[in-house]
Structure 1
Amino acid sequence: MAEPQPSNVQEGADAPDVLPANAEDRKAAQAMSSLDNRASESDAPKKEVDLKALNDAMKNLGVAQEQKSSSAGAAKKTEAAKKPLVKVDQVDVALLVEQLDISKTKATELLRAHDADAVKAMTTWVTAAV
């Protein structure tokens, strides 16, 4: 059950300002009140400047990202063109999936990277994981 409230307490009223007992609590209370004061100030012009700077930065980043991705895409295409497609035996894929506990796609990629040599692929996987 609810405790009886003193007669001077009003519903919806803010708590009375009581100074904390120790210095750390006073500093924390002062810091909190300064945050409240900053939030009530008008920051509209600063926000507009920040938004403009953010938009400019994002545009520049987008241009840089497009250039990087186009050069990375070209590098991947030339790398893929250099390597011949290696035929991988499904028995080797199943072996890697079972022994290394990896997905079939990862096992297939691992075998292709090691010229369909299951022993070499497993050795590389185990030594890289350690």
Structure 2
Amino acid sequence: MAEPQPPNVVEGAADPPPSIPTSAEDRKAAAALDSLDARGDDEGAAPKKNIDRDALDKAMKALGADKPKPKAALEEKKEVEKKKVVKIDQADVALLVEQLDLSKTKATELLRAHDADAVKAMTAFVTAPV
């Protein structure tokens, strides 16, 4: 035997009739849900796109992304990219690795910075501020 149904259920209806929200919060939530269901193909969509673009432009200006970088920073970057072409002896690399407890790459960079002179590189490493 079937259970008794509430009186507002109509046989054959897919969804129950919508209830009217009683509180202001419920009405706002219902309005927000209804606006999500809207397609957005109307004329109101184009101005929103422009508003978003304007907001993006303002945000980028606030971050300073539209400002060109100073010449000094660009030249420094180029300097870093250009590594000195110096012939580095592997015995010097091994010496720095053993004596200063460095990795091979760090020892090679240290030697490159000091024109492949092991004595200058070790002196600079030891006297460098912490």
Higher relative helix content: 1
TM-score range, shorter chain: 0.3 to 0.5
Give the TM-score, by structure 1 length: 0.44
Larger radius of gyration: 2
Give the TM-score, by structure 2 length: 0.44
